Amino acid sequence: MKNSVIILLIITILSCSREKKNEIPLFNEITFKINKGEAIGVVNSKIKNIYTENFNNSEIQVPLFKYIKHNNYEIFIGIPYNTSIEELAQNQLEKQDSLMTNLSSDSLCYYKKYKRNDFYIAEYAAKVANNSLIYISTMSISRELTDSLFNKLDLSNRINTNNK
């Protein structure tokens, strides 16, 4: 009897939850859309090392906040610290360790797509609610996946704010 009350309570709490299954909460009521096949991953030391080596290795600090895994790619979400879109974009221009294939920037966002080693990488940073910044980086061994799933528009559309 006690177990059935606990199970009923859990079901009630889960059914009343305002969180959608296809979104993960970030901060300030901002969410990130999760696609089919994606799952929130555990940020362990291996994941932190991959992220630091590829994306958080400059003077500008962008700590890893969320990690999303899929069989064919990985998504890293960071929260830029004490910086601006302009500084993030300038920092990308100064990096010469990869073959840049696409870079666009304005006062609200920047987007960069390139290949490093065996990975196709996309980086997107945007100014969101309350002038907060969000940073999204992706890694895939497939150029087609990167081109179709991680272009500037699609990454932008995955960020949901109250203002959208």
The Cα 48–Cα 163 span in angstroms is: 31
pLDDT per residue over 98-155, tens digit each?
A: 555 666 667 788 898 888 888 999 999 998 877 788 999 999 999 999 999 999 999 9
CATH homologous superfamily for the domain 20-160 = Mog1/PsbP, alpha/beta/alpha sandwich (3.40.1000.10)
Say what the pLDDT of residue 45 is. 92
Q: Where in the chain are the domains? A: 20-160
The torsion angle over the Cα atoms of residues 87, 92, 96 and 97, rounded to 10 degrees, is 130
- pTM reported for the whole predicted model: 0.80
User: Which runs of consecutive H residues, i.e. helices, occur in 33-136?
Assistant: 45-54, 85-94
Residues 6+ apart with CB under 8 A from 143: 115, 120
